[in-house]
Structure 1
Amino acid sequence: MNDIAHSLHHIYARFVPAPNMEMLFWLSVTIAAFVAGMRIQIRLGRAPWANPVLFSIAVVACLLVLTETPYATYFTSVKIISFLLGPATVALAIPLADSIRLVTRSLPSMTLALLAGSLTSVVSGILLVMLFGGSHEVALSMAPKAVTTPIAIDITKQIGGIPALTAAFAILGGIIAAMIGEATLRRLGVTDWRAHGLAAGIAGSGIAAAQVAQRDPVGAAFAALGIGLNGLVTAIIVPLVLYLIPA
């Protein structure tokens, strides 16, 4: 295995020596891995467990290890993708605008679900870290785990957590929600796409919301609403909950 890794690193260093080539290489690899993951998921009948984000993360991580490429180098190469994460999240406002009347009628009944979901996510994340003896800093990083990644990182910076760890928690939570969220709700007898979308937006942020958006436009609208409102509510709840955490 070490010989294979050494050979791949040698080939990589020989053929991708220039910074511009390196940036183009990792950008292309990331996009290609995600497209391949999408095609695999489509071939498997859009199975939720065949998540393209998880697939692309696994592929890119393996290549980074095998080529001995520092994460800082990779992040610089794909910074444009990180930048586009914000506009992609905002684009979910399109189905929200299309279903605005339905959303407005459902708003009162969603308020309790939103508050319960946001509070449960924050408190459960903190208690889980404390239960396993994690540090105060890790608990702070875990608190905004269900918020979409850009907002979660900003919240963590403000409260003194570790942004990189929060990003990992947020992405992992989104992948898990995308993989098991719909199946879990259907087993509980929940078939309304409004509920599926709102749950995806609150529990799984953009990754789970994108999964729902592929299935139903109404679900996409409520997922967008869940992402936005959950970010707002979590930003308010987290500082309040901090007073209950021993430093």
Structure 2
Amino acid sequence: MIQAMTTSPLFGIVLCIATFLLGRWVQIKTRSPLANPLLISTALCIAVLCLFQIPYEDFSKGGDIINMMLGPVTAVLALGIYNQYAVLKQYFLPVLLGCTAGSLTSIFSVLGLCHLFGVDDAVTAAMMPKSCTTPIAVSIAESHGGLAAIAAACVMIAGLTGSLCAPLFARWFRIQDPVAQGLATGACSHALGTIKAREMGELQGAMSSIAIGVCGLISVVITIFL
């Protein structure tokens, strides 16, 4: 009975959705940046598979269906840029230069450090797009022979780090401009950072939302030549 359930693609889909909803509930209750739904969902999925000794191959039958949604989700990012068109038009040059600088720094710092420490090419490719949102990061990683699972984990770590440290770095480096605060946060830590940026201010949140899509596009263009 259990084996019949776990070998169905529906098992992986239901497990992912249920654990994410539980993680979302924990985040709402605790209001802690560490209580990230994606992090909680990942930990719970691993725990269930280990506890009931369910092969990953069985789980991935449903997980692969969810992964198929990453492509359409990437296209939806254009909606976020469109919704902030007025802000983007007003701050076009700072957005373009800031996102370009952020994307270049993120990608080449990873490449430099991985080369310095002799990291495997597949892992390097997976870590390279860490500051992009998950759909774009996974696509970039896979196109360069990287591991999608590692790419998603790196995106999660970058997002959590940014959401925790963004206000602190703004104070340390005395960054008072809300446009700079929002762009830097979105460029480094995508959606999770944007949540924190919105807490910092409305303009910061808008600029961070723009940075997610713009940095994603710039990162794709940069990695074409790598």
- TM range, smaller chain: 0.7 to 0.9
Q: CA RMSD in A?
A: 3.1
**1:91 Cα deviation after fit:** 4.4
The match for 1:233 is: 218
Check conservation: 1:142, 1:166, Cα contact below 8 A.
yes
Check conservation: 2:198, 2:205, Cα contact below 8 A.
yes
The match for 1:204 is: 189
- Normalising by structure 1, we get a TM-score of 0.73
Question: Which amino acid is 1:165 matched to?
Answer: I
The match for 1:49 is: 34
Structure 2, gaps ≥5 residues long: none
Question: 6, 20, 24: which is aligned to 1:38?
Answer: 24
Question: Which amino acid is 2:19 matched to?
Answer: A
Question: 93, 102, 108: which is aligned to 2:87?
Answer: 102
Alpha-carbon distance change, 15 to 137 in structure 1, aligned in 2, over 3 angstroms: closer
Check conservation: 1:153, 1:166, Cα contact below 8 A.
yes
Does 2:4 align with 1:17? yes
Q: Distance between the aligned counterparts of 1:16 and 1:194, measured in 2?
A: 53
Q: Secondary structure of the equivalent of 1:204?
A: helix
Per-residue Cα deviation, 1:22-60 (whole angstroms, up to 9, x for no partner): 44343333223222222222222x222222221111111
Check conservation: 1:175, 1:207, Cα contact below 8 A.
yes
Structure 1, gaps ≥5 residues long: 1-13, 243-247
Alpha-carbon distance change, 49 to 168 in structure 1, aligned in 2, over 3 angstroms: closer
Q: Secondary structure of the equivalent of 2:91?
A: helix
- Normalising by structure 2, we get a TM-score of 0.79
Q: Secondary structure of the equivalent of 1:78?
A: helix
The match for 1:74 is: 59
Question: Which amino acid is 2:154 matched to?
Answer: F
Decide which structure has the larger Cα Rg and report it.
1
Alpha-carbon distance change, 29 to 153 in structure 1, aligned in 2, over 3 angstroms: closer
Alpha-carbon distance change, 81 to 177 in structure 1, aligned in 2, over 3 angstroms: farther
The match for 1:116 is: 101
**1:16 Cα deviation after fit:** 5.1
Does 2:124 align with 1:139? yes
**1:17 Cα deviation after fit:** 2.0
Q: Distance between the aligned counterparts of 1:16 and 1:160, measured in 2?
A: 33
Q: Tell me the matched-pair count.
A: 226
Percent of aligned pairs with the same residue? 31
**1:102 Cα deviation after fit:** 2.0
Q: Displaced runs of 4+ in structure 1, greater than 6 A?
A: none
Q: Distance between the aligned counterparts of 2:192 and 2:71, measured in 1?
A: 13
Alpha-carbon distance change, 38 to 213 in structure 1, aligned in 2, over 3 angstroms: farther
Alpha-carbon distance change, 106 to 190 in structure 1, aligned in 2, over 3 angstroms: same
- Mean CA deviation greater in 208-217 or 117-126: 208-217
